[in-house]
Amino acid sequence: MARCHWLVLFPALAGLVANMRQGDGGGVGGVFSFDENLAEANQPYSVDDDLLNEAEVNGNWTPQEKALHEARLKAKAKRRLRKSSSRNSTSESFSESGELSGGDPHSPKGKVNTSDRKSRTGKGRGLPKKGGAGGKGVWGAAGMVYEDEEPDMRDPNYDESAQGDTVYATVVPEVDEKELEKMVKPIVQEYFEHGDTKEVQMLLKGLNLGTHKFEFSSLAVSLSLEGKASHRELTSRLLSDLSGKMLSQSEMARAFDKILKELPDLILDTPEAPQMLGQFVARAIADHILPMSFLDCYKGKVDCEHARVALDRAEVLLTMKREMVRLDNVWGVGGGLRPVKHLVKEMNLLLKEYLISGDVSEAEHCLRDLEVPHFHHELVYEVVVMVLESTGDTASHMMIKLLQSFWKTGLITVDQMNRGFQRVYDELPEINLDVPHAHSIMETFVDLCYKEAVITKLLRDACLARGRKRFVSEGDGGVIKN
C-alpha cells in the first residue's frame, strides 16, 4: 500500500527507476542512461515530455513516440557539441550520433583545442572585426578614402632613391633676450681689435636676432662708452655700415631711445655718458643713420635730466656743423693717425703734469688715451732727457717711480724701453754740449733704474761702457784712455 502511494506521488522518479530495472532493454540501442534522464529531468517540462513520461511508466511506447524521442536526443547532442567545438574547425566533422568522424577520441587531434583564443560561445558569424576597418595592418572598411602619407624611413619597403632629391635646410633658432648680450658682446669686443665691419655683418647674419635686432646697436654703443675714443669712432663707422643693410632707421631710432632710457645706469660707470651719447646722436644724424626729426620727437617730452643733457649736446653739435655733411672728427683723430709732433707735445705735457701732481694713475690714463703703443719709446726718451736737464734728485726719483709703474703694468714693453734708452745713448754727445755733466748723471740714473728692475743688465752695461770712453787729449790721434 505504501509502495503504490510513493509511485503515485512521484511519477517521473518512478519512470527513472523502471528504466534502471529494465537496463539496456528499456532503451533503443543503449542510448538511455541515468545521467541523460537526469539531465532531461532538469529541462523545463512540456506537454510532449509529460506524455512520454506517462508512456514510459506504463511501458506502452508507440513507434512514433520512440522516433520523436530519439530525434530530440540527437538534437540535444548536436547542440552540446556545437557549443564546445571551435569556430574555425573545418577539418573535423561530426556524425549523426554526435561522435567525431575519422578520428580517434583518445588522440590529441581528436580533442578540443583548449588554447584557442576565439570565442566558443557560438556568437558571431566569423566575419572580420569592425568590418575589416580595425586592427593593425588591415585595409580598412569598404569605401574608405586614404590620404597621401609621408614615406617612413623605417619602412622595409622604403626606397631612398625613389624619393627624389633631398633638400637639407638649416634652421637657426631665434636668440633669446637673455642670451643676446652673451653672444653679441664678444663680437663687438673683437671688432674693436680688428675694425672689420664686413666680418661683423657676416657674424650677425649667422644669428637669428629676430625682433631683438635693434638691441645690437644699443649694446655696441654702451660698450664703446666704457672704452676709448677710437672705440667710439669704430662704433660710429659700424652703425653707418649696418644702416640700410641690416638695420633700418626705425630700428636705429629704437636703439638710441633705449640708450637714452638707460642713461641713469650708464652714468654710474661712465660719468661723461650723456655728453658722449649726444655726440653719438649728432654723428648718427649727420651720417643719415637717424632721421632728421629724431630730436624733434623729444622736445618737451623728456623728464630725465641726463637725457636732456645728451639731446642738448647733439643739437649744439648739429648747429655748429650745419654746413658740414658729416661730423667725421667728433671723436677726434685716432692715435696712429695723429702727427708725430702732436704726439711728442702730448707726451711732454703728460710728464710735466706728472712732475707737478705726482699722480701715477692719471699719467697712465693719459698715456693709454693716446693709443700709440708703438710710440712709447718716445716717452722713455723724454723721461731720460728731462732727468738729465733737471736739477736735484727729485725729478730723477719721480721718473724712476713712473717708469717702474709702467713696467710692472706692462704698458711699456721691453722693446720700447730699450729703444728709448738707446736713443739717449746715441744722442748723449750732443746732449753733453748743453748739459756738461750728462755722462755722470746718466750713469747714476741707469744704476738706479737697474736696481729698481726697470731695465736689464745688458742695457745698463751698454751705458757704462759708453760713459767710460774718454779721449786723452785732442792731439793724441783719438787714442782712448783705458
CATH number at residue 289: 1.25.40.180
Calculate mean pLDDT across residues 264-283: 91
pLDDT band at 8; cut points 50, 70, 90: very low
Q: What is the mean pLDDT of the chain?
A: 76
Q: Where are the alpha helices (DSSP H) in 60-213?
A: 63-84, 177-194, 197-205
Is the domain of 263 the same as that of 236? yes
**Chosen domain end from 52, 68, 84:** 84
In angstroms, the CA 281 to CA 236 distance is 10
* Contacting residues for 177 by C-beta, under 8 A, at least 6 apart: 212, 215
Confidence category of residue 102, pLDDT binned at 50, 70, 90: very low
pLDDT band at 346 (very low <50, low <70, confident <90, very high): confident
Of the pLDDT bands very low, low, confident and very high (cuts 50, 70, 90), residue 155 is: confident
Question: Which one has a higher pLDDT value, 236 or 136?
Answer: 236
Average pLDDT value for residue range 265-287 = 91
What's the confidence (pLDDT) of residue 119?
58
Residue with more model confidence, 134 or 63: 63
Q: State which residues form the domain around 240.
A: 177-320
In this prediction, residue 318 carries a pLDDT of 85
Task: Return the closest-CA partner of residue 217 out of 249, 173, 193, 195.
Answer: 249
Query: What span, in angstroms and rounded, lies between the C-alpha atoms of 357 and 378?
Result: 21
Element (H, E) at 26: none
Do 345 and 305 share a structural domain?
no
313, 383: one domain:
no
Number of domains in the chain: 3
Task: With CA atoms as reference, report the closest residue to 13 among 70, 53, 59.
Answer: 53
Look at residue 134 in the predicted model and tell me its pLDDT.
66
- Distance from C-alpha of 469 to C-alpha of 384, rounded to nearest angstrom: 20
CB 212 within 8 A of CB 254: no
What's the mean pLDDT in 430-452? 88
pLDDT at 55: 52
Check residue 230 and give its pLDDT.
83
Q: Calculate the alpha carbon distances from 316 to 154, 309, 382 in Å.
A: 71, 11, 39
Backbone angles phi, psi at 474, to 5 degrees: -70, -25
151 or 446, greater pLDDT: 446
Higher pLDDT, 137 or 196: 196
Residues 250, 275: one domain? yes
Residues 316 and 246 in one domain: yes
290 in a structural domain: yes
202 and 305 belong to one structural domain = yes
The pLDDT score that the predictor gives to residue 221 is: 92
The pLDDT assigned to 210 comes to 80
Per cent of the chain over pLDDT 90 is 20
Q: Taking 80 as the threshold, does the pLDDT of residue 466 lie above it?
A: no
Q: Check pLDDT > 90 for residue 62.
A: no
Q: Which residues contact 227 (CB under 8 A, 6 or more apart)?
A: 192
Does the residue 245 lie in any domain? yes
What's the rounded mean pLDDT across residues 287-291? 89
Pair 439, 360 in one domain: yes
Strand, coil or helix: what is 284? helix
- Percent of the chain beyond pLDDT 70? 68
- Mean pLDDT over residues 95-103, rounded? 45
pLDDT of residue 25: 42
Confidence band (pLDDT; 50, 70, 90) for 190? very high
When pLDDT is cut at 50, 70 and 90, the band that residue 28 belongs to is: very low
**pLDDT above 50 for 402:** yes
Is the pLDDT reported for residue 32 higher than 70? no
pLDDT value at residue 379: 92
> What's the pLDDT score for residue 245?
84
Is the model more confident about 395 or about 166?
A: 395
- Of 320, 349, 373, which residue sits at a domain end? 320
pLDDT tens per residue across span 313-329: 998 888 875 544 457 66
DSSP category for residue 407: H
pLDDT at 255: 92
Q: Give how far Cα 287 sits from Cα of 10, 81, 235, 330, 408, Å.
A: 125, 102, 13, 12, 42
Residue 171 lies in a domain: no
- Averaged over 154-170, what is the pLDDT? 75
Residue 461 sits in the same domain as residue 427 = yes
The answer to whether the predicted template modeling score (pTM) of the entire model surpasses 0.85 is: no
More confident residue, 360 or 31: 360
One domain, residues 362 and 305: no
Instruction: Return phi, psi of residue 94, to 5°.
Output: -110, 145
Confirm whether 124 is domain-assigned: no
CA dist 256 and 277 (Å) reads: 9
Sign of the alpha-carbon torsion through 172, 174, 176, 181: positive
Check whether residue 188 and residue 266 sit in a common domain: yes
**Lowest mean per-residue pLDDT among 20-34, 67-81, 120-134, 442-456:** 20-34
**CA distance linking residue 259 with residue 269, whole number of Å:** 14
In a domain? residue 133: no
**Under a CB-based contact definition with an 8 Å cutoff, are residues 463 and 425 in contact?**
yes
Residue 145 maps to a domain: no
Residue 325 maps to a domain: no
Angle at 327 between CA 323 and CA 330, to 5 degrees: 135
422 pLDDT more than 50: yes
Q: Report yes or no on 199 lying in a domain.
A: yes
pLDDT at 175 over 50: yes
When mean pLDDT is compared over 38-42, 74-78, 212-216, 235-239, the highest value belongs to: 235-239
Closest-CA residue to 216 (of 251, 249, 184): 184
For residue 427, which of 417, 412, 442 has the smallest C-alpha distance?
Answer: 442
Residue 262 has pLDDT above 70, yes or no: yes
Q: DSSP class of residue 481?
A: P
Between 7 and 392, residue with greater pLDDT: 392
Out of 49, 84, 119, a domain closes at 84
pLDDT band at 227 (very low <50, low <70, confident <90, very high): confident
Same domain, 209 and 267: yes
- 79 & 183 share domain: no
